[in-house]
Structure 1
Amino acid sequence: MTNIPETGRTPRVQIRLGIIQVIVFSLLLTLGGRLWYLQIRNGDEYTAEAKGNHVQRVVQPAVRGPILDARGVPLADNETRLVVSASRTELMRIKDRGKAVLTRLAGVLDMTPKEVMDKIRLCDSETPKPCWNGSPYQPIPVTTEATTQQALQIRERPEDFPGITAEPTAVRRYAAPGGARTAQVLGYLSPVTDDEIQKAKATDSPHLRSDQVGRSGIERTYDRELRGKAGVTSYEVDNLGRVMGEAESDPGVPGSTLVTSIDARVQAVAEYELAQAMKTVRQETDKITGRKYEADAGAVVVMESRTGRVVAMASQPDYDPNAWVGGISAKDYAKLTSKNSNYPLLNRAIQGQAPAGSVFKVVSASAAVRAGHDFNDKYDCSASYSMGNRSFANFESKGHGPITLGDALKFSCNTVFYRLGHQEWQRDGGLKPKKNAHDWFYRTAREFGFGGETGIDVPNEVKGRIPDRQWKKAFWEANKDAWCKQGKKGGTYVEQIAYESCLEGNQLKAFDSINFAIGQGDVLITPIQLATAYSAISNGGTLYTPTIGKAVISPDGKTVHEIRPTPHGRLPVDAATIKNLDKGLRSVVEPGGTAAWRFGGWPQDRIPMHAKTGTAQVYGKQTTSWLATYTRDFTIIMTISQGGTGSGASGPAVRNIYDAIYGLDDAGNQDLKRALLPQPQKALPKILPDGTIEAPEIKPYDPDAQKVDPGEKGDGLPALAGPPAHLRD
């Protein structure tokens, strides 16, 4: 028997063992690497995921606080609606990315599949409305107006509608009490964005993904107070999603109540009368252009003269803020942002800018007094004023001879102010200004509050423009290249202006100061600035910061934070000048004044009325109508773009607003039962024991309720079809 040596097998066995060892070590190395990757490199991520698998957070959005008028009438509140929402996160996990589910949902909601899909697509710079500009991880409302039957179809067939919910939800409602939309004042809401969530993390008022935030108006200014705090409940669940118990609960807090100084009744009157004035003037022919007046935009402000609180603020064109609730449609969004609709989102009371025209003459009269001219001296109101080879005509080219500055306001005499503006320009050195040039007209305008923000508590206020020497220089430096390129000596009017501006646009010229003295040229003002200035004349000289918010009340009604009137300065004139201005403005509505024909029968002995009319010229457009008025309690400013004269276009509407406030008929008879607000509202609304606020009923404005039979007029004067030619301003 042959013996096989052991050494013969050894190499093969060793090779096999070596291979096995390599494989084992490779497997161990792979396993170790994988464990290191899972536990160390991505450990935090997977730990967080693991925790998420066992703790689920349920967010209950806070009920947004209501916005009330000064008497407690809701301007914005909440109502319960059936809201159908879609979860993009869940839909994206489905093989077809939820297309079939959304198509079925469209059939239930009587919508097209495209309408539904557009609702839940994410907004970016290239995506048109509608789209979702909130967080992609929160439920996206498809409709806020589902019927009970539609909600039941969705909830009874969850297998057909994964990622779709139908729940009763508190939804914002803009109530429009008495027809008062108050659109631009209130603003609107839209979902919070991821960027806003990140920015708010470090603050004491962080956002949740379910939040709706204010985008404009007082919804934006007082968003923090109105928003409240959402409730968050965390549940422990097993891997199958079964609830094992409650981990923690952070109860929500409803938003606070905002009481405003707006009176919904006066707001309804202001909105109606502004719209009606614009509608009426569109039927009239502009004698300058031969066309009907366009009256394309307008604004009205009603303010408490002694506090700066805004009682009403209307802007035309306006819109229904409910269009934003639940996501705005493409059609509605186009209406609100298109040139054809003239941008109704703009609040023209604080964002509308136009030359001032003659309402600016209170500034010029004040500046003249500061420069050393006596208010009661005589100044020549000639038919025109000449400077070199240029002539500046009085309105309607009619003169009144030597008159005081008070009469210059009464008759709205341009030439008095032309002459004063020119003289002060010369005193300051003309084209070679002195080092210590006073620039009284420009300084006074700024100290009246023009050319700067009033500080009103709604966002996006514009500053207007006071074209003084500094502005002229800055404007020229910014535009000279374009002017030099466009300008042409002896060319068209625009080309000639560009040519002259290229060469010497940085200089404050004589005609600049002449035009400025009557609120023309490059000057721009806003209605809220004008209301603040005229209120100051009314109250003796104090400039108040305009406010709409009046008080913030906690949800239980126990904590009330009043927003008190805040003065920010005084008019730059002494008490004697203010009294003279007051007397001159009173004469404007008395016989011979430019607004007298609109205030016939007014009870001047009981409720003294003061006014200034203005007709501002705008290159390439029809004239802008301005009317500034005040009584002892209220200041009302109205403007209509391309609406003609101040008294002609705005006069009837302003008179009607006052009649409604004081309960007056055309003859000046007062009925306090019909008076909406015979004196400013001082007290806050009554808070009930449960924290709710008592709200009085409000009826829609009836313009015919103030009218009386023409035969009953008590002023003893024939009705005027229009003013005398020399009083149209």
Structure 2
Amino acid sequence: MSQRSKISLIVFQSLVFSLLFALFGRLFYLQVLESGRYKEAAISIQSRDIVTPAIRGAISDINGSPLVVDLPGLVVFIDRSTLDKQSDKGATVLRRTAALFNLEYADIYQRTRLCGELPVNNRAGCWNGTRYQPIPLVGGASQDVALKIMENSDQFAGVNVASIPIRSYPSLEGENVSHVLGYVGSVTDEDLKNSSKNYYRSEVVGKTGLETQYNEYLRGTPGVRTFLVNRKEVVTKESKNIQAIAGNNLVTNIDAKLQSGVERALEAAVKRARASGYRGDSGAAVVLEIKTGRVLAMASYPTYEPEIWQKGLTVKQAEDLFSEVKGVPALSRPLQGLFAPASTFKSVSVVAAANAGYPLDGSYNCPASVEIGNRTFNNFDSVAAGRLKLDVGLAISCDSLWYQIAYDEWVRDGGLKPKSKTNDYFFNAAKAFGVGKVTGIDLPSELSGRLPNRTWKQNWFEQNKDFYCNYQQRAKKQDLTRYLIEIARENCLDGNKVRAGDAVNFSIGQGDTLVTPIRLAQMYAAIANNGTYYKPQVARAVVDTDGKVIKEFKPEVADVIKEEQSTWDFLHRALRMVVTRGTAGSVFSGFPVAVSGKTGTAQVFGKNPNGSAKDDTSWFASYGPTEDPTYAVVMMVSQGGFGASTSGVGVRDIYSTLFGVTGNKVDPSKAVFPNGVPTNIAKVDLKIAASKVDLTGVKVGGVKLK
């Protein structure tokens, strides 16, 4: 054999041994090192899981009264895999089912369609799971209807009924509190992809509000029974049986009685605005405990019945939730409503003026109008009040004195050619109060508002310059008015500059400034508390079914505004004057509890869907009692007109509920907190729910109701 042949043989043998070594190595890896994983995979192919959802934890008010709780209920499900096999794809069955529940066929059809099966602009109420899992159609079905379905299974093929825990809302004090509680829904494919959450198809999870914020505590642990089956789907063995564990309960700072009173006061304020000729399309109200930041009540109007998510949304209900004509009931206005604060913002301007060196005990002119550049800025109703003290100016809500102070400070900062280091007293005072930031409340989707300072102006300009510089080509035809074209020209030239008009409008809470009602409530809590303000908190504690505290949420200081005590003393005196002899004097005349506050009437630019001009936003921001500030109360009514006559009356009604006021007298026995806001953590009393629902002998959250 030649030397070359020997070398070729050696190379060939080496290659063969290498391949054999790789093969045996791979076999060792698969059969020894990875045997466990593949064993589990093999078992999963021949195993079937039966998941029993856990009882979801209750959410209670500050006294332990349930606001929402899981109760046994009959739920009607649709099996798409069965319907799709029918000759008409289940249309006949769906029509029978729709008639049974007095629903439109379109509603039933929409609820049983996968979201991907429908056009993007027509997915309201669609199913975001898969066709292979039961689709909940109607929750809380009556026994009679359930029996009809079960007794006529041939006519309702693919329609099933099951008794499962569903979210129920006892509303023991008549409270709604939908926007705070939020709602639950079935898990989605995106949820299932998150391995850290370990969701199952049959579970419901929090989607909004407290339900999603504290889902990890409320969810509980689902029960899972795993059966091994053969290739004929015959059960051969039960391999796992894990019992469901009920979720923990959440105790909130919301007081159900106060919440109900706040909701009634807000609704009455909106209707009062409409009766006065204003559009009154929506509103919000907030009650905070000043020295802790606890949210004792929070309402949004219009609202919706929380049960609709369990009963099943109709197409119309889903559309109405986001309809501007209906007032967008889905929007939580305390957290997501952005509005110009108007004259309530003048308290911030007081701090700015004090820091700029203006004497708070001095006298200032309040003319009917002020000429700034080529524009005339009018006082409210173009009325002159002469020369007056600053506290009186705040009490009667003079605008023109602030025009002058703000303009002077704008000039000192360099005007349209700002100095390298500007004082920006007004912007900095607003920043200290948190304007332009979220409050950090323990609810999702809070908006930050807007602080239109120099940084914001520059960013806004960069984003919008192209539009304004090409306005006549890019704007809608109806917006090509002489005035708007001129505004666009100015914005194209120097839209990044803080103009004189921006400065004077900012000082009275107009222009580009936007705040949420929860932010304004926090701001007035800060004033009442001499600069210290807390992060708003809805949750009080997480407790288990035996009442053991799992987690307590203690008050957190958000910030401290460092000002001279004389500034706070001035504001306390002036804000009390607003109520005694200022713009809110007539509203609180004879009211037996001393409160302090500020009215606000914000002008709004724009038009309604019907083409009419938008009405003013009504505000009243307050705290009380004046001598020992305990509560900060704020109400806002969009397109509600004057601050005093709409929101001011609404806030007075809230204080009446808080302190037990009837007429001009206080009845302590009717007060919400006769002994002060509870400091202890209440035990959740699920038995109270039995007063509205017959739950005899049923276990809810581990408690047997009698």
- TM-score bracket for this pair, using the shorter chain length: 0.7 to 0.9
Q: What residue in structure 1 maps to residue 544 of structure 2? A: 554
Does 2:565 correspond to 1:575? yes
Which region of structure 1 is more displaced relative to structure 2, 542-551 or 120-129? 120-129
Does 2:227 correspond to 1:235? yes
With over 3 angstroms needed to count, the CA separation of the structure-2 counterparts of 1:366 and 1:679, relative to structure 1, is: farther
Q: What residue in structure 2 maps to residue 564 of structure 1? A: 554
Per-residue CA deviations over 1:77-122 (Å, capped at 9, x if unaligned) read 1222211213334544567655566566567666676654433221
Q: What residue in structure 2 maps to residue 175 of structure 1? A: 170
Given that 2:620 and 2:635 are in contact with CA atoms closer than 8 Å, whether structure 1 keeps it comes out as yes
With over 3 angstroms needed to count, the CA separation of the structure-2 counterparts of 1:100 and 1:430, relative to structure 1, is: closer
* Cα distance, 1:136 vs structure 2: 3.2
Which region of structure 1 is more displaced relative to structure 2, 107-116 or 415-424? 107-116
Separation in 1, partners of 2:106, 2:287: 45
* Cα distance, 1:684 vs structure 2: 4.1
* Cα distance, 1:490 vs structure 2: 11
* Cα distance, 1:431 vs structure 2: 1.0
Which region of structure 1 is more displaced relative to structure 2, 212-221 or 523-532? 212-221
Q: Pick the aligned partner of 2:259 from 267, 284, 287.
A: 267
Separation in 2, partners of 1:615, 1:679: 36
* Cα distance, 1:698 vs structure 2: 11
With over 3 angstroms needed to count, the CA separation of the structure-2 counterparts of 1:514 and 1:168, relative to structure 1, is: same
Which region of structure 1 is more displaced relative to structure 2, 478-487 or 528-537? 478-487
Per-residue CA deviations over 1:225-265 (Å, capped at 9, x if unaligned) read 11111110112345554544421112211111111111111
Does 2:312 correspond to 1:327? yes
SS at 2:381's partner residue?
helix
Does 2:615 correspond to 1:622? yes
Does 2:528 correspond to 1:538? yes
Amino acid across the alignment from 2:439: T
Q: What residue in structure 1 maps to residue 62 of structure 2? A: 70
* Cα distance, 1:310 vs structure 2: 1.0
* Cα distance, 1:487 vs structure 2: 5.6
Does 2:609 correspond to 1:609? no
Per-residue CA deviations over 1:329-352 (Å, capped at 9, x if unaligned) read 112111112222121100111111
Q: What residue in structure 2 maps to residue 676 of structure 1? A: 672
Does 2:646 correspond to 1:656? no
Q: Pick the aligned partner of 2:133 from 130, 138, 144.
A: 138
* Cα distance, 1:178 vs structure 2: 2.3
Amino acid across the alignment from 2:594: P
SS at 1:597's partner residue?
coil
Separation in 2, partners of 1:662, 1:647: 20
Given that 2:179 and 2:209 are in contact with CA atoms closer than 8 Å, whether structure 1 keeps it comes out as yes
Q: Pick the aligned partner of 2:190 from 185, 191, 195.
A: 195
Separation in 2, partners of 1:88, 1:44: 36
Given that 2:461 and 2:496 are in contact with CA atoms closer than 8 Å, whether structure 1 keeps it comes out as yes
With over 3 angstroms needed to count, the CA separation of the structure-2 counterparts of 1:207 and 1:326, relative to structure 1, is: farther
* Cα distance, 1:601 vs structure 2: 1.2
Normalising by structure 2, we get a TM-score of: 0.85
* Cα distance, 1:443 vs structure 2: 1.2
What is the alpha-carbon root mean square deviation over aligned residues?
3.0
Given that 1:81 and 1:146 are in contact with CA atoms closer than 8 Å, whether structure 2 keeps it comes out as yes
Within-5 A mapping of 1:161-560: 163-198=158-193, 200-201=194-195, 203=196, 205-238=197-230, 241-284=233-276, 292-486=277-471, 492-560=482-550
Q: Pick the aligned partner of 2:641 from 635, 640, 644.
A: 644
SS at 1:598's partner residue?
coil
Normalising by structure 1, we get a TM-score of: 0.82
With over 3 angstroms needed to count, the CA separation of the structure-2 counterparts of 1:112 and 1:407, relative to structure 1, is: closer
* Cα distance, 1:439 vs structure 2: 0.7
SS at 1:639's partner residue?
strand
Q: What residue in structure 2 maps to residue 20 of structure 1? A: none
Per-residue CA deviations over 1:387-406 (Å, capped at 9, x if unaligned) read 24433222233334443332
Amino acid across the alignment from 1:324: W
With over 3 angstroms needed to count, the CA separation of the structure-2 counterparts of 1:560 and 1:682, relative to structure 1, is: farther
With over 3 angstroms needed to count, the CA separation of the structure-2 counterparts of 1:575 and 1:241, relative to structure 1, is: same
**5+ residue gaps in structure 2?**
1-29, 474-478, 607-613, 693-706
Separation in 2, partners of 1:491, 1:143: 52
Q: What residue in structure 2 maps to residue 23 of structure 1? A: none
Give the share of equivalent positions with the same residue, in percent.
39
Given that 1:308 and 1:544 are in contact with CA atoms closer than 8 Å, whether structure 2 keeps it comes out as yes
With over 3 angstroms needed to count, the CA separation of the structure-2 counterparts of 1:281 and 1:679, relative to structure 1, is: farther
Which region of structure 1 is more displaced relative to structure 2, 353-362 or 677-686? 677-686
* Cα distance, 1:433 vs structure 2: 0.8
Per-residue CA deviations over 1:697-727 (Å, capped at 9, x if unaligned) read 999xxxxxxxxxxxxxxxxxxxxxxxxxxxx
Separation in 2, partners of 1:130, 1:432: 54
With over 3 angstroms needed to count, the CA separation of the structure-2 counterparts of 1:678 and 1:647, relative to structure 1, is: farther
Given that 1:410 and 1:587 are in contact with CA atoms closer than 8 Å, whether structure 2 keeps it comes out as yes
Given that 1:87 and 1:138 are in contact with CA atoms closer than 8 Å, whether structure 2 keeps it comes out as yes
* Cα distance, 1:671 vs structure 2: 0.8
SS at 1:613's partner residue?
strand
Separation in 1, partners of 2:400, 2:570: 20
